[in-house]
Amino acid sequence: MNKTSRLKERFDEARSYSENICEPLEIEDYVPQPMVDVSPPKWHLGHTTWFFEAFVLEPYSKGYRLYHDDFAYLFNSYYNNAGERVLRPNRGLMSRPPVREVMAYRAYVTEQMLDFLDKNPDQEVWDVIEIGINHEQQHQELLVYDIKYILGN
């Protein structure tokens, strides 16, 4: 397996695993934020998607079109240099976009990323993608903790 194929596989596995973690949830389970230290599953899914859009596709994929202009504001977290954001305690107040739209956003960005990887980006971009994969894996751990806390409440 070549380097590109392996990175595509790792990227796709990470993206799929986040969704698998959330698969047993009901739609209503994606939004609550019972305390400031817990983020809603919907936010985690949007945030990890936004990372790839903001730090890989926008700067490196020629002609990339944002999925939605407001998603950078909604799904940014602490990246002050990347713009304004919803404050952490307010993530559970986001009734929009609906979960189906967040999942469509994920599908769009994942497809764009897989196409982009076929263009053999340079090492600098590979490094950012690697960070993005690790970032998504960190959020998978948080998703499990946060879902347990949400459902436990």
Convert the pLDDT of each residue in 1-39 to its tens digit: 788 889 999 999 999 999 999 999 999 999 999 999 999
Q: What CATH architecture is 3-152?
A: Up-down Bundle (1.20)
Domain ranges of the chain: 3-152
Whole-prediction pTM value?
Answer: 0.95
Q: Return the structure tokens found at 66.
A: 């944002």
In terms of C-beta distances under 8 Å and separation of at least 24 residues, what long-range contacts does 94-98 make, across chains too? 94/31, 94/40, 94/42, 94/43, 95/31, 97/46, 97/68, 97/71
Instruction: State pLDDT tens for residues 70-123.
Output: 999 999 987 667 778 988 899 999 999 999 999 999 999 999 999 999 998 899
